[in-house]
Amino acid sequence: MTIYSVNDPEFKSYGKVLEGYDTSELTKALDDSTPLPDGVDYVMSEATLEYTNLFGALQNNAYGGMPIQIGYCNGHNTKLNCLEYHRDSELNIGSTDFILLLAKADDIENGKLDTSRVKAFLAKKGQVVEVYETTLHYAPCSAKKGEGFKVAIVLPKGTNGAVPNLKAINEEDKWMTACNKWLLAHAESSEASTGAYVGLTGENTDIESLI
């Protein structure tokens, strides 16, 4: 597997880097106020991040005035485990470098996605990385062996909250694990062991030997 940069042409169909934003206050708050666990920890909304000046700029400019939330995903990780998607773009802003493992929604065939379709992209500290609605993604990965990552996650407000009270009317409905979150798990993942839909086939991608 090649690890590309989010600045490389290969990233263009997965997302883009948003220019013009001053992320220094946000990345400092992320560094100072959020933990770095041995595993991976996700919090959908974190007040210390949302109280920064960047919140208003991202809500009004990047999301066109839609209500948003800023949370974080921090920890140590080198494996794919799952892929998820939302009905909107997601923004990732790291106070460290980090790697995203990504695939495309149109690579899902009959409810399955082969992990050989997954590509890796390195993002640098402070970059505002947009991941498109049609891009499958999950927890970031460490950019350097033995080092962790801290990444602010920006999404429309309510995303990753409680799953709606719904009756499944099609196959995709069965993949929903939270509000505005559809997930395909690998059989080896902890998510699969707790009932998530197993939709990833092939090896559970691990980049440990590449960093």
- Tally the residues of the chain: 211
3-state secondary structure of 172: helix
- CA dist 190 to 137, 186, 194, Å? 17, 9, 7
- Residues of the chain falling short of pLDDT 50: none
CATH of 3-210, picked from 3.40.50.2000, 3.40.50.300, 2.60.120.380, 2.60.120.10, is: 2.60.120.10
Q: Which two tokens stand for residue 204?
A: 């559970």
**185 CB contacts (<8 Å, ≥6 apart)?**
81, 82, 191, 192, 196, 197, 198, 199, 200
What's the pTM?
0.97
pLDDT, tens only, 21-62: 999 999 999 999 999 999 999 999 999 999 999 999 999 999
Where are any strands of DSSP class E within the chain?
3-5, 15-18, 40-43, 68-75, 82-85, 90-94, 98-104, 113-114, 119-123, 128-131, 135-136, 141-142, 149-156, 176-178, 181-186, 198-201
Give, as one character, the DSSP assignment of residue 59: I
For residue 49, the model assigns a pLDDT of: 98
Domain spans in the chain, listed from the N-terminal domain onward:
3-210
